[in-house]
């Protein structure tokens, strides 16, 4: 799959969009209507960050923005803010992608954890700044932790299931991204 789509990222775009629909579908299932004490990871953010460090052209900012904005609307979050924070994090990682290509996975994981933490904290701070009641601290903290721990799983799934692998030098031109 990686060979076929080396120069055509459209397959990845379609894959990302359909995974987004799947995640929305599963999360909306009315299985648990009791309040939970912890938050599940934000799967679409996790996937976007895993992919941008491997194939920056697979996750254009506009696509991620549309998917996350849709989840903002459907999951009753203040619309737009979470999407804006995630996109800024995505672009920070995209600018680091070239330097990370030769690095170890631990370094990559650490970078993603830092970026995810900053995204969650920024989202919370802006909510407070605009006098919106923020969620309980435990929920935001568990969102951060579960997303951090879901990241290696997302990377493994991307590598083995979806064929999103680090490109060999010269395989494609990162400037084509977007």
Partner 1 sequence: MARDTSRRDDYVRPIRRLLIGLLVIVLFGVFLLWRIDSPRVERLRANLVDQIVPNFEWAMAPVTATTNIVADFRSYRKIYEQNQELRRELRQMQAWKEAALQLEQKNAKLLDLNKVRLDPKLTFVTGVVLADSGSPFRQSVLLNIGARDGIQDGWATTDGLGLVGRISGVGDRTARVILLTDSNSRLPVTIQPSGQRAILAGDNSPAPPIEFLEDPDLVRPGDRVVSSGDGGVFPAGLLIGQVAQGPDRRLRVRLSADYERLEFLRVLRSRSVEVIDEPGHLIGPLPARPTAEIAPAQEATDG
Provide the binding-site residues for partner 1, judged by CB under 8 A: 24-25, 27-36, 38-40, 61-62, 65, 69, 71, 73-81, 83-84, 87-88, 91, 130, 132-133, 135-136, 139, 170, 173-175, 178
- Supply the DSSP string of 81-125, one letter for each residue: HHHHHHHHHHHHHHHHHHHHTTS-HHHHHHHHHHHHHHHHHHHHH
Output the smallest distance, CB 106 to partner 1, in A: 27
The smaller minimum CB distance to partner 1, of residues 79 and 163, is found at: 79
CB closer to partner 1 out of 41 and 112: 41
For partner 1, which is the closer residue by CB, 8 or 178? 178
Q: Nearest approach, Cβ of 7 to partner 1 (angstroms)? A: 15
Chain-centroid distance of CA 148 in Å reads: 11
For residue 155, the tally of other CB atoms under 10 A from its CB is: 22
CB of 77 to partner 1, least distance (A): 7
User: For residue 110, what are its two tokens?
Assistant: 């650490």
Least distance to partner 1, CB of residue 20, Å: 12
Which residue lies nearer to partner 1 by CB, 106 or 175?
Answer: 175
Q: Are 177 and 57 in contact (CB under 8 A)?
A: yes
Minimal distance, residue 51 CB to partner 1, in Å: 17
**Long-range CB contact pairs, 119-124, < 8 A, 24+:** 119/45, 119/85, 119/86, 119/88, 119/89, 120/144, 122/85, 122/88, 123/81, 123/82, 123/85
Task: Closer to partner 1 by CB, 94 or 155: give it.
Answer: 94
Strand segments, DSSP code E, in the chain are none
């Amino acid at each position: 799959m990686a060979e076929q789509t080396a120069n055509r990222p459209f397959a990845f775009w379609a894959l990302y969009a359909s995974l987004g629909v799947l995640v929305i579908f599963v999360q909306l299932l009315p299985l648990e209507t009791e309040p939970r004490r912890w938050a599940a990871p934000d799967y679409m953010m996790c996937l976007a960050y895993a992919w941008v460090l491997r194939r920056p052209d697979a996750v254009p900012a506009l696509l991620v923005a549309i998917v996350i904005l849709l989840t903002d609307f459907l999951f009753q979050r203040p619309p737009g803010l979470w999407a804006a924070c995630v996109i800024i994090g995505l672009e920070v990682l995209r600018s680091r992608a070239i330097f990370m290509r030769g690095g170890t996975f631990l370094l990559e994981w650490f970078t993603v954890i830092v970026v995810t933490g900053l995204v969650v904290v920024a989202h919370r701070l802006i909510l407070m700044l605009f006098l919106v009641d923020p969620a309980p601290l435990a929920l935001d903290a568990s969102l951060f932790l579960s997303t951090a721990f879901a990241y290696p799983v997302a990377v493994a799934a991307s590598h083995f299931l979806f064929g999103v692998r680090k490109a060999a030098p010269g395989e494609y031109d990162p400037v084509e991204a977007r």
